[in-house]
Each structure stands twice: as structure tokens, then as C-alpha cells.
A and B are shown apart, each in its own frame.
Chain A
């Protein structure tokens, strides 16, 4: 295991009460995998990452990172890892090339080696167009690409990326995914945080969903989606939501019912987790019709990671963005 944490906790002491940002996280990341950390704003993703990369002292718990004890051997951990912060860490008055060379030097490369490595990285991340301009003149996406490129200069065995694709256009995002996959091919494990479900789904070998500082579930994207075996039927009912729930909840073809808040027009969305969608839809229609509940909409869909999140936390990841 490249990362193994036990009960990792962080409580920030603020003037107005403490903030329990991370409340006992146990996770493990294997060599050479892309591990996703998915969660809404304020879930504790950045805090966890900062602890694992030695920037922040945990309040409790322990962890081994890249073969070293996080608390006892932070210097050894630093040598093995790369870290790209959520808001980057470049200085506006220097160029990308200078930053890349400096980064190599920080990781104890010689001058020539650092320069050669900078050229490689500039090529890999397609920075050559602006590599010799001052960083303060870059667009947000260009700067983000440089941030991630900086984390790869010393070819770490483990790379932490805190929301690497935020602010990138679709093309740059796809390109970044390719770069991250290439890192994995070279044997680098990548620990990536994201709010993007499609990103977690497409990129990650395994992922953990974190909410309010706790891991709610963990597994491969396929395993997670399989937790919601079967299908989901979304039914919009006008008024009478409680009646509909009372009616459907005991039905043997329905596993679970979740209810949203009614929208301004008085329509309540019921989320029915069912074994077999196509068989359930006519049953649901018939049952509600018999009870004279007005159906305003009906939709059948296959579970996505958003549904996993919703099922676990009762909230949608998309809405919280």
C-alpha cells in the first residue's frame, strides 16, 4: 500500500467554535492507481490532502505514506511525493520554464538535469507557447496546467492533485486526463480530488466519497454504482407526496424511496430505487393512479455516481457545486 491511514482527524481551532474538518478517515491507496476523492465543497478533501503531504499536522490518527511514517518521518515522505495545491503555487514574476527548473532544483537535481527535465515537462503539458512569458500573463487554464506540470517534475511515486482540472476547458481537461493516465502508466500513483462525477468515473481506478469529514463509501466506480443495483425511477407527484410514499414504500418491487423538497409549483420528486425499472414503471403508474395521485412526470434512469452520492448523503453533488 502506498497510502494507509488510520483514523486520520483534523480539528481546526477557530475563535467561534472548532471546525471538525476531517473526522477519522481510513483509506488505502495502492501502488500505481488513480485514486479519486469525491465530495462537495467543505467536505474535507483539501484538509486530508494537506495532512497526507506533511503540510498540516493531524489532530489525531496515523498514516503511512510512500513507505514512511507521516508523523515520524515527514522528510522521507516529502522526497517521495508531489503535491499540487488547489490554488497552485506559482509566482507571477517568473516564467514557467524558470519555475520548472527551480522545482527540479528543489528536488535536488543538478542544473543541467533540471533544465532538461523542464524541456520534457513543457512538451508533455503543452506549455511551450507561453513557457517563456511571465506567469502573471497566463490565463487561468494555462496557469493550472503549469501547476500540475510542476508536481510531476521529479517523477514522484505518488502525486497529490487537488482539483487539477478546475477551470480548464473541455479540451484541456481531456488532455489533462490523458497526462494523468500517462503518469499511471509510468508507475506513479495519483491521488486526485474532484467535484466532477464524470471525471471520477472516467479517470479513477478506485474512489472514496467524503462528506462532512467522513468517508461515506469507497470502491471502484463500477462497484459503487452496483451498490445501487437495479434502476432508479423518478416520479414527480403533485401534492399528496406523503400518500404516494406510504403507498409505494411497502410495495415489493420498490427497495427504497427518497423524497426531495417540493419545488415552487408544488411538485415533489420521489426517487424510487427499484430492482427492474421497466417492470416497475407500469406497476408504479397503476398504483398511483388507483390512489388518485396526480403524476406530473416520470423518468427511468441507470445509476450514476451522483446517485451513489445522493443515496449515501441525501444530497446531490451537482446542486452543491
Chain B
């Protein structure tokens, strides 16, 4: 099928570029590692407190992985703006290639590097933070990571095509992501929050993702948070990919 072939074509090219210059993949790992090494130990004293029943690292690392999923792909739009400026996107747009493939190929590349980074982070957390890894849960958690990665990378590309300028993209992303991050319970579980904050967090799909990641990480595969996260993240993903695909096919990039 043409869409699959075209997507593969774009994906292979984009992934090839990353493999040729893999430095960025590792630089993006540095920030979560700082959190793991410099912030994680602060939580050890909270073990057993509300929200930390499963253990400090077992609570913190899943949140960290979700944070990585959110920030790892969110800035992909910057690369696209550079490609627009160089005329690469325009060159591709006059060919018969599927417009959706231009988006999907790039987003899937972002998700590939993201999964790779998330695995390294989890594996490193075991020796560094003394984390116990629960493999079945980890595999399912990667699906959530993939969903978030696709959603946010698509969003980033869509916004980049609309704004066409790095100067406008950076502040916009920050304004939107900071509250979403704070309301997701990544740093500290939302169980510690006052009622009104918990209510607000109920509208944040990423809060469900964090809860689900924690449940999966601790082998609690029956938790309600898991299907909730699947529904909310899945819906968000479809919505953002659809929106961005429309921008890709329309924009006079």
C-alpha cells in the first residue's frame, strides 16, 4: 500500500540521519538522568508516604519515563522548520508522495528514538536508583510511551507548519507543557495534592498516563488507570495526528 511504502521511505531517511549523528539521542537522555541522580534520592525518605506505597524509585521512575515521552518528541518541530527553510519539504511536496507519510515517517522516527531512550533510562535506573524492573509491565508501558510520543511529535510538527518560526514555537511549547507537566504528578504523586488540584488534574490525560505507568511498573495490571490511560492517550493521539496531517496536506510550506 502506497501510504505504508511512503511512510517507510520517509522513516528510513529520517532514521538514517539520526543514526549518522546519534549525539542528540544521548544528549536528550542527560536531563532525565539528572533528575534520577540529583532529585531521585530526595524521595527515598518519603517511602511509604501516601502515593509512595510501592517504593520511592518505583513511583518516581515511571513518572520520569512519561516525562521523557512528553519532552522527547515535543521539540521535533524545530527540525521541521529548518527543513521548510531549506526547501526540502517543498521539494517533497511536489512529488506524488503521500502527505500523511511526510508526517508519519517523521513521527515514527521520533518514537523510535524515544523508545530507545526510555529503555536506556529504565535499565540505568536499576543500578543507579536500585529500581526493581517488572518486565511485563514495562512492555505495556512502552505502548503508552509510543502513544504519547506520536501524539506530541505530531502536534509539534503541526504547530511548526502553522508558525514556521522557531521564535514563536519555543514559547508556545513552554507555555502549554509546564502546567501539563506539573499537573501530571510526575515529580510528586497527585495523592499529595489538595482537592482542587486533584480535580484539575483529572482533566489532564498525562496524569492518567503517569498513574498507569506506575501501576504497570509495579505489576498491578488490573488497575483502572491502565484502561483510562489507553483511552485518553489513544484519543489524544488520534486527534493530534489527524489535526497535524490536515496541516501537512494543506500548508503551503
Question: Could you list which residues of chain A lie within 8 angstroms of chain B, going by C-beta atoms?
Answer: 50, 53-57, 75, 78-79, 81-83, 85, 87-94, 102-103, 105-108, 150
Contact = CB atoms under 8 A, between A and B. Distances in A.
Interface string B79-117: 000010011111111111100000000000000000000
A293 B89 CA distance: 61
Contact of B83 (A56, A57, A91): A91
B94 A83 contact: yes
A79 B90 contact: no
Nearest to A82: B94
Contact of A89 (B17, B20, B86): B86
Contacts of B97: 106
A81 B94 CA distance: 8
Contacts of B96: 75, 78-79, 106-108
A55 B88 contact: no
Contacts of B17: 91, 93-94
B21 interface: yes
A237 to B, nearest CB: 49
A55, A79, A82, A106 — most chain B CB neighbours (10 Å) = A106
A89 B90 CA distance: 7
Given A55-B90, A106-B96, 10 more contacts: A50-B252, A57-B252, A78-B96, A85-B91, A87-B87, A88-B86, A88-B87, A89-B87, A90-B88, A91-B17
A78 B86 contact: no
Contacts of B89: 89
Contact of B88 (A54, A79, A91, A105): A91
B182 interface: no
A55, A87, A103, A105 — most chain B CB neighbours (10 Å) = A105
Contact of A107 (B13, B88, B93, B95): B95
A53 B94 contact: yes
Contacts of B13: 94, 102
Interface string B6-18: 0001000100010
A101 to B, nearest CB: 10
B88 A85 contact: no
Contacts of A102: 9, 13
A106 B9 contact: yes
A94 B21 CA distance: 12
Contact of B20 (A75, A93, A103, A150): A93
B94 A90 contact: no
A8 B86 CA distance: 27
Contacts of B86: 88-92
A91 B90 CA distance: 12
A75 B98 CA distance: 10
A150 B20 CA distance: 23
A55 B95 CA distance: 10
Contacts of A89: 86-92
Q: 9 closest A-B pairs (Cβ-Cβ)?
A: A89-B91, A89-B87, A106-B95, A83-B94, A78-B96, A106-B97, A79-B96, A91-B88, A85-B87
B237 to A, nearest CB: 27
19 contacts: A54-B93, A55-B94, A75-B96, A79-B96, A82-B94, A87-B87, A88-B87, A88-B91, A89-B87, A89-B90, A89-B92, A90-B87, A91-B17, A91-B88, A92-B86, A93-B20, A103-B95, A108-B96, A150-B91
A57 B96 CA distance: 17
Contacts of A107: 95-96
A93 B88 CA distance: 12
Contacts of B91: 83, 85, 88-90, 150
A266 B9 CA distance: 65
Contacts of A79: 96
Contacts of B90: 55, 85, 89
Nearest to A54: B94
Contacts of B83: 91
Given A78-B96, A105-B9, A106-B95, A55 B252 contact: yes
A137 to B, nearest CB: 15
Nearest to B6: A106
Given A91-B86, A94-B17, A56 B9 contact: no
A103 B96 CA distance: 11
Interface in B224-252: 252
Contacts of B20: 93
A102 B252 CA distance: 22
B197 to A, nearest CB: 41
Contacts of B94: 53-55, 78, 81-83
A141 to B, nearest CB: 17
A232 B93 CA distance: 47
Contacts of B92: 89, 106
A105 B89 CA distance: 15
